[in-house]
Amino acid sequence: MNEDNLWWLKEDGYEARLHKHYEGLFTQGNGYMHVRGSFEEGCSDAPQDEEYLRFPDNVTLEKPRHPKSKQGTFIPGIVAQHPLLKEEIVNLPYMLGLEFRSGDEALDMDRCRISGYSRRLDLRDGRLHRSFLWETKEGMQLKCTYSRYLSMADTHLCIQQVQLEVLAGEGRLEVKAALRADVRTNGMNHFARVVPSAEPGDCISLETLTEEGNRIFMLSALEASEAVNWQAGHTPVMAALRGECRLNTGDRLTVSKLTAVTTDRDMEEGTVRDRALAQLSRARKLGREQLYNRHADCWKRKWQAADIRIKGDDAAQLSVRASIYHLIRSNREEDDRVAICAKGYAGEAYFGRYFWDTEINLLPFFLHTHPQAARNLLLFRYNTLDGARRNAQKYGYRGARYAWESSISGEEQCANWQYADHEIHITADIVYALYHYVRATGDDEFLERYAVDILVETARYWCDRVDWNREGEGELLSVMGPDEYLPFTRNNAFTNRMVKFSLEQTVACLDSLEDGKRDSYAAAAARLDIRPGERERFRHTAEKLRLPYDSRSDIVPQSDDFDSYAEVDFASVWTDRSRPFGHFISQERNYRSKALKQADVLELMMLFPQEFTRAQLKASYAYYEPITTHDSSLSAAVHGIVASWLGQKEAAGAFLQRVMDIDLSAEKKGAAEGIHIANCGGLWQLIVYGFAGLKSAMWSESIELEPRLPEGWEKLSFTLAWRGERYQITVNPDTYEVQKLNGGNLVAGTTV
């Protein structure tokens, strides 16, 4: 296959029913801002300003609005309040607007005579290209070529270019460039004030004030290769420049739009307007070529650290690059006030909130490709510790309780009480991730400077949350584990093990600080007001917290009461396996049945592999997999990893396919509401932990591999950051190699 095809996500031929999926899949971003892959001219029959009230619902099963198109422009951190659903990231004004008209015919992919349509997103540099032939009613044949990108180097800039070449005919063509605020977020208008203006030198601006008081300034400069005589033409919610020109056969009209976006949340000084003007004038001085080179260099560096190369499976190659692309663009490495939301800033569906996905599914990728980004993601949790304290207080507990769905200030936003009240494992998952970071990077200082506050405060919460039984054991009652189809279980194995781990580490951290770093200990004790006896309480709770399993049972029970739930006759209930199981059963019945939404015990085994025997892994996989619906996109990758560890190549291959399809399969339209970013991290883990068999840095001091490549894979290679060094890993079907990138230190072995 041509090497380019291993870097391009493609859409050949336009189909309206798939458009929304491609809008999600082709989302572009640079950490600072993100835009969905919508058309510059929009779509007919797809209004963006429809107002409606979205109610609390199960997001996995909810029927989304906007079947054809939903544009999306997101800047992490710009949020507003939904009256029923709490905080949501604001869908900002649409900056991409470039519309063309010939006579009374507006260019539209559905209504015009379009042929040869194709789009491709180049994953190497994040540029989106579109080309097609437009045969206008007036008899012109126009070859139209679009390209656009959000600069990775100059993150406030969006750079667009359209070229129309007249292959036959002649006539007048109108152009309209717009910045439009007729945009709603989940049906809500969050804009308190919109000010469209014409600016000197063929520029327009749109200043938007959100209900929360955030100010967003968009400033576009237009350039055309032909004289189009731009004229301002605003409406109350749109800044626009219109122009027209006459074209003859052979003519080429090139229109460029350069937009600078600034907000009052940016960390730079000065008004939003002044900064946007400065950005634009700097960009114009740099010129198109330099702007592009700076951008492409940034992407290149990111790919050097993160690319995974697979020989022998082009579909997997492209798929993992698509995942890595979305992981890279979703991350804002220098801003620890935001993390990565569950839809990877590619849609409105999960309101831009932060879940355990970040710590458990995404973090490993960043730990081993870009440790600074991993640190930042964890600093976000440190920065939102006060929000977590308020959550604990609201529930009547001491300490800190992290939100199941976190706002940018850390407070609980989940509008469904089942999850908000019961899916408490997130608080311990964060501690697991803190350790993972420290172990993978060797950044021990992070523990004493930041993590210790989270450890102590969450330990206080756990001590209050635990109930004590007559045998003197601590229990966690009424808990939802990772499997969201059982909301009120007793002693969920995953949760209890995570909490025990979290308490154990708190004690160990305090012990070692007191022994080795008395100043740090004294500072932490004063800052956190650590009382005499508190550490003993943590230790006692850790020791006595019940685990609903032991080494005697091969099948690890998901919870103490798991066995008492009703069996499901899947064949009669789930009659169409292409749709989620949850569509075929009422929530009430689902909540009392043994049907898992996603990996739960297997997730536990993946995170604590050394604590389970192979017999337990095998028996638990054999028991749980058939009763797991995989209705959550977090499930398939974990199952693939476990299947690979068990040497079940066929099953592992089937899960790999499933993971790849989650966002990439157009037929399933998986990316329509946004990217399943946890699954992107899951694919990385499936390849690195599953197929290359890397032992997690949590439990291994050095790089240890136990590779099992899927059928047909001739070679797998990637670089890995590990404790301050970078390594090149190469796995062949029978052998593997680990080489330190700056020379020396070669480890080789044979695959299993």
Rounded Cα distance, 349 and 363, in Å = 22
C-alpha angle 408/413/419, rounded to 5°? 130
C-alpha angle 459/465/471, rounded to 5°? 105
Integer CA distances (angstroms), 390 to 334, 394, 395, 409, 463, in order: 26, 6, 9, 10, 17
Instruction: Please answer whether residues 652 and 690 qualify as being in contact, where contact means their C-beta atoms are separated by less than 8 angstroms.
Output: yes
Tokens of 725: 């060094």
Residue type at 460? Answer: R
Given the structure tokens 């849609």, which residue do they identify? Answer: 347
Instruction: Please answer whether residues 545 and 466 qualify as being in contact, where contact means their C-beta atoms are separated by less than 8 angstroms.
Output: yes
**β-strand 191-199 against 231-232: which pairing, if any?**
unpaired
User: For residue 678, what is the DSSP state?
Assistant: H
Instruction: Please answer whether residues 541 and 463 qualify as being in contact, where contact means their C-beta atoms are separated by less than 8 angstroms.
Output: yes
Supply the DSSP string of 710-746, one letter for each residue: PTT--EEEEEEEETTEEEEEEE-SSEEEEEETTS--E
Angle between helical axes of 493-516 and 425-441 (0-180°, round to 10)? 50
Name the helix (H) or strand (E) containing 163.
strand 157-168
* Numbers of helices and strands, H then E, in the chain: 20, 26
Rounded Cα distance, 356 and 4, in Å = 35
Cβ neighbors of 82 (< 8 A, separation 6 or more) are 54, 88, 185, 186, 188, 351
**β-strand 157-168 against 215-224: which pairing, if any?**
unpaired
The phi, psi pair for 222, rounded to 5°, reads -110, 145
Altogether, the residues listed in the chain come to a count of 752
Integer CA distances (angstroms), 430 to 213, 434, 474, 528, in order: 31, 6, 21, 19
Burial tier of 189 (Cβ tally within 10 Å: 0-12, 13-18, 19+): middle
Tokens of 515: 């022994």
Rounded Cα distance, 294 and 286, in Å = 10
Burial tier of 289 (Cβ tally within 10 Å: 0-12, 13-18, 19+): exposed
Minimum distance between the CB of residue 708 and ligand BGC, rounded to whole angstroms? 27
User: For residue 95, what is the DSSP state?
Assistant: -
Integer CA distances (angstroms), 688 to 365, 639, 708, in order: 9, 14, 10
Integer CA distances (angstroms), 15 to 52, 138, 161, 405, in order: 27, 25, 24, 35
Tokens of 424: 């408490």
Rounded Cα distance, 684 and 323, in Å = 8
Tokens of 637: 């990758």
Measured between alpha carbons, how far apart are the two ends of the chain, in Å? 29
Q: How many CB atoms lie within 10 A of CB 213?
A: 9
Rounded Cα distance, 69 and 43, in Å = 7
Where does this chain bind ligand BGC (CB under 6 A)?
A: 60, 342, 355-357, 482, 484, 597-598, 632, 634, 678
Residue type at 676? Answer: H
Q: Alpha helix (H) ranges present in 625-751? A: 635-645, 649-664, 677-685
Of 82, 588, 123, the closest CA to residue 349 belongs to 82
